[in-house]
Structure formats: structure tokens, C-alpha cells
Chain A
Amino acid sequence: MIVLHEVCKQFMQGDEEAHALKKVSLEIKKGECVVLKGSSGSGKSTLLSLIAGLMQPSSGTISVEGKEISKLPESFSAQLRREKIGFIFQKFHLIPYLSALENVIAPLIPENLPVRILEEKAKIAMEQCGIAHKAKMRVNRLSGGEQQRVAIARALVNNPSIILADEPTANLDETLSRELIASLEALKHSGVTLLIATHDPLFFELPFVDRIIEIKNGEMIL
């Protein structure tokens, strides 16, 4: 459950104020799949960052899972991100010198639990994505498709209730994009809330997408 109320975000670009988002209000229900459509620079990524608590809005409120993430101290918003939100980035953003398993464990490191438990969790997520057999490989030796699966496994490792995807298919060929979409669909059916920011037309006619919201110059076009 994500609720945005009149969210504005300004950046300082030199001496001028640039409005990345203007009074965005939005409500996404649990288990819903929403696609944010818009060209690059339209404010989609800013919106995702705000929802994840990576930045704070200039005004307005954002609440995630009943908690007002925009007002939370940083350590708590990080915890919320760790426990409830999974991130899939453009270009995957894996940490290149770690193995696949270590990349999947990375989000859990701050919890300071025994290694055994964390590896167990990571293995489950990796099996779910069909990449468990490459666990010991360094991710920069993996193919694009395998890297993508590691990235999804990392997003799933803590059983998040929300998945945020930022241009997930931007650097993929069509086969891989289809594969990714299939995994997203599986997630949707398991009850996870999905929020996908993209301008890839592949997403616009998918049967499991509940809503498509267009963003242009920081404003929602309904």
C-alpha cells in the first residue's frame, strides 16, 4: 500500500529551481501492478526514489505500508527499504567484484545475523529465479540474462511486499525483456505490489498490468 499526497520535489540546478515533480497524488493498492510511463527526465525515477525513501520530498507526504517514509529518520527508512521494498535497477547495478551469492546477500548484511541463515535466505531467492547453480561465480563473468536473474534474486531476498523497477528492460534485447516480464508476472501473482517505471512499449499491453500512469514534466496525466 503506497499513498502519495500532493508530493512536490524541486532540485537546484545552478541558481534555478527545477521542478521534478509537481503535486503528485497517487494511491497504489496492495498487490496492484502499476506502470509509470514517460520519457527520460519526466520524473519517473524521482518518484521511485521518493517512494523508496532515498530522497525526501520538498513538500507533501508519502506513506509506504502505513509508515510515512518521508518523515522517517534515515536509519528507519533504510530498514523499511530492506524489509519491504525490493529494487530492480536499470543495468541491474550489481556489485561487480562480488559473487552472485554475495550480491544477493548484500542487502541483509546490516542485519548482523549468522551467515548460515542469510545464505539460506539467499539460496531460496536464487532458486526462485533459477540462478542458484551460478552462486559462486563473480557477477561480471555472468551473461546479461544471468545478471538479470541475480538482480531479481537480490530484490526478492527479503520477501518484499513491494518491488520497484526502474527502466528494467532498458539495456535488454527482446528475449531477455520477455523473460524479465515473465518473472514480474509471477511476482504479481504471488501478491507483490509492483511499480515499474519505463518507456518500453512492451509493458503497455500486458494483461497483468492494472494501471498505466503517464508522467510528463513532473505531472501526472490521467
Chain B
Amino acid sequence: MFFKPNFLLLDYAIRSLMRRFGKSFFIFFILSLLIFVLASVLMIADAIKLELNTTLKTLPQITLQRFIAGKQSDVPLERVEALLDIEGISAVTPRVWGYYYFKPAGVNFSIVGIDAYEEQYSATLSTLTQRFDIKLLEKENGMIIGEGVQKILSENYYTEFFNFITSEGKWQRVHIAGVFHSDLALESNDLIILPKKLAYAIFGMDKSKATDIIVKVANVKEIPTIVQKINERYPDMRAITQDDIRVSYQNIFDYKSGFFLALFSICAFAFFIIIYDKTSGLSSEEKKEIGILKAIGWSSDDILKEKFYESFTLSLSAFFVGITCSLFYVYALQASFLRNLFMGYSALKPSFALPFSVDVSMLILLFLLSVPIYIAATLIPAWRASTLDADEVMR
């Protein structure tokens, strides 16, 4: 009843595994591989989630978008003043931003228009405005670009300036005033910051409108009530809160890793049928050995225990090997290949480092998905072996 480990038996089990090296190694290898793939996928998903959560914190508390006929459209600027009347709102900022498709490289740049006199809505932007002189940008038609953008542009021989093609088909020449790199590469790698005036010109937007509106709230707990008030006043506006984004991201990632896991289960199932097959076929050598052991005083239970130690050692070591490999692969090699599975961004986006995030609960999850399932696959073969008739050895 009370479990007391038998180290000699463990030793015996390990030797017995080593003796059947070919067979054990085959199982060990495949099992480690499966655990490795599974662990990598979960770790990547978790790391991206962590990265996104960090990014999310820098996102605005409430984003207001206007929908006309179910399509997002620009918001008239007069609503900004009106929104400030709602109690609890501490700041309202209209944003002008969008994507610019750069055909020669086939990538999208994010363009954000800023205004020197406005309060910046994100931490990244406010550090940038401190580092670079925004008023100067306005004077000399300049822009600040992210490292990724700089790389793409210089590949296309734009090192000093860039010619945007506006919606009317004219060229808009903008001077590259600076390059920034940020720790949060995910957010800023493909970013171009330029004065609002230029942004309006490039997008061909009406100057009395903004892309969307950012709302800052004094008390975070009041967000739901404020959203309700905004909805009452402007039924065509949709409010997206930080929390909404967080939940939808979490769902996407859980769904993606879940989907992967479902595929994985099928592979694993196939594998366990192989294991079942491999472990239930006993060679005459093994049968003889079981016979000898029984004759010299082992009971079925002891043999079952020995088999359990075997499968436990095998699966546990495969578990550790798989986990170690995937830690190395995900964080040292930055998970080349596999990370693309989770990122549907443009070619520029993925060049960020996966932040380290491994918690005990994930290890427990991985353990539950590997070791007990492997033991389950060997349970019946082990029982068959343990109840073999011992008189075999007497012939």
C-alpha cells in the first residue's frame, strides 16, 4: 500500500532496457521526438502569448471604431470634444494610421501619424517623441522608421528618402529622419512614424476625420460603464477594450495549440499502437528470463513492477530529453520553422525574440500528456508478460 521504491529492481529494469537496446532506443527516440514537438508548440504559443500580453499593456484602454454599413470607416473629429464630456474619461486622442503596401518587397508597413502637441497614447510613441524632434519632422517632411522598414527600404536603394504613392497616384517624397529599435520588436519593427499632415496626404483622407479614437479612462474599473455610455450616445461606434483583445488572443492561441494537439493526438495514437505491438511481442529469450525469475522466487507482481519501472524510466527520460531539446530549440534557436505556424503576420513581423516563459504548470501538463499515456500503452503487455507460465523454463 505504501510505496517504497526498490532501487535494485530499478537497476534491474534499466539493465533490461539496455539489453534490448535497439527496441528500447527506437521507442525512446520516437517518444522523445513526440514530446519535443509537443513541448515546442506549447512553449512557442506561451511565449507569443506572453509577448502579446506585454504588448497589450501598451495598447489603449478603449479604442473606438466607427462602423457604417458594417464596414469600418473614419470618425469625424467633432466627436472627440463631445466624448470628453462623458464623466470618467480623462483623455481622448484621435489617431490617423493605416497600412501602406510596398509592392517591390510585397510587404505592408504600418504608418502612424503623430502630432507634436498631442499626448501620445502609447509608451513606445511617447519615448519616440522624446528622442526625436517631432516639430522638425513636420518642417522638413521627415519620418522615423523601424529597423525592419529600414532594411527593406535600403534593399530597394532608398537610403535617404522614400517616395510614397498617394491615393491620387502622385509621389510624396519623405525624408528618412531617423531609425529606432525597440525592445518590443513585435509592435514596432514595421512601423513608420510621420507627421499627421503627411499621413493624411499619403492615405488621401479627409482632414476633418480620424481613423479611430483612443480613450483613456481615469479608473480601470469604470471601463464597462463608460463603454455603455459611449454606445448609447454613438450607436455606430464600436468600443474595443484591452480585455476584449486579450481574451480574443488567448482564444486564438488556445485554439491553435488545441488544434495542433488534436493532430498530435492522432500521431500519438498511432505511435502507441506501435508500442503496444512492440512490447507485447516477447522474444523467447524474454520468456525464458521471466520463467527463471519466477522459479527463483519472483511473483507476477514483482515482474509487473519491474515492467512498470522499465516503462516509467523510459518515458520519464524521454520526457526530460524532449523537454530539454525543446527548451534549446525554442529559446536558443528561436524555434525556426515552427513559430511560423502561430504567426500570421507579414514577413516583417516575426523577427522578434521569444521571451522566456516556462512555468511548472506547463511541465505538469506535458508530463500528463506523455508519461501516463505511455504507461497506459504498456500496461496490458506488461500484465501479459507477468502472468506467463513459469514452467516454460523447465523444458
- CB of A78 within 8 A of CB of B289, answer no
Number of A-B contacts (CB under 8 A): 86
Q: Are A81 and B295 touching (Cβ within 8 A)?
A: yes
B251 in contact (CB, < 8 A): no
| A21, CB-defined interface residue at 8 Å | no
Does chain A have a CB within 8 A of B86? no
Q: Contacting A81 at CB < 8 Å: which of B9, B296, B300, B394?
A: B296
Contacts of A98 in B (CB 8 A): 15
Q: Would you give the shortest CB distance from B303 to chain A, in whole angstroms? A: 9
Q: Which A residues touch B300, using CB under 8 A? A: 74-75, 78
**Which residue from B291, B296, B299 sits with its C-beta under 8 Å from A154?**
B296
Q: Which residues of A contact B298 (CB under 8 A)?
A: 78, 82, 107, 109-110
Contact with A along B296-328 (1 / 0, CB 8 A): 111111100000000000000000000000000
Determine the chain A residues whose CB is within 8 A of the CB of B244 once the complex forms: none
Given contacts A112-B4, A112-B6, contact A54 B391 (CB under 8 A): yes
A interface bracket (residues with beta carbon within 8 Å of B) = 20 to 34
Q: Which of chain A's residues have a CB closer than 8 A to the CB of B395?
A: 45
- Contact A110 B292, beta carbon cutoff 8 Å: no
**A186-207 near B? 1/0 per residue, CB < 8 Å:** 0000000000000000000000
Contact for B297 among A79, A93, A115, CB less than 8 A: A79
| Residue from B4, B9, B19, B288 within 8 A of A93 (CB atoms) | B288
Contact between A105 and B295, CB atoms less than 8 A apart = no
Distance (Å) between the CB of A78 and the closest chain B CB?
A: 3
Asked if A82 and B391 make an inter-chain contact with CB atoms under 8 angstroms apart, the answer reads: no
Q: In the complex the two chains form, is A93's CB within 8 Å of B292's CB?
A: yes
Interface string of A107-118 (1 = CB under 8 A from B): 101101001001
- Contact in complex: B297, A81 (CB < 8 Å): yes
Closest to B392 in A: A54
In the bound complex, what is the Cα–Cα distance between A82 and B302 (angstroms)?
12
Main secondary structure of the interface of B (DSSP, over half): helix
Q: Closest A-chain residue to B9, C-beta based?
A: A109
Once the chains bind, are B295 and A74 in contact (CB under 8 Å)? Answer: no
Interchain CB contact under 8 A, A89 and B393 = yes
B226 an interface residue at 8 Å Cβ cutoff? Answer: no
Question: Is the CB–CB distance between A54 and B394 below 8 Å?
Answer: yes
Contact A54 B15 (CB under 8 A): no
B391 contacts A78, C-beta separation under 8 Å: no
**Is B297 a contact of A110 with CB atoms below 8 Å?**
yes
Contact with B along A49-89 (1 / 0, CB 8 A): 10010110000000000000000001101110111010101
Asked if A106 is at the interface (CB within 8 A of a chain B CB), the reply is yes
Please indicate the chain B residues that have their CB under 8 angstroms from the CB of A105 in the complex: 8
A106 and B293 within 8 A (CB)? yes
- 5 residue pairs from A and B, CB less than 8 Å apart: A78-B294, A83-B297, A98-B15, A109-B298, A118-B8
Measured CB to CB, the residues of B under 8 A from A are: 4, 6-9, 12, 15, 19, 288-289, 291-302, 389-391, 393-395
13 more CB-based (< 8 A) A-B contacts, given A93-B292, A93-B295: A49-B394, A54-B294, A55-B390, A74-B299, A78-B294, A78-B297, A85-B297, A98-B15, A106-B296, A110-B9, A110-B302, A115-B8, A118-B8
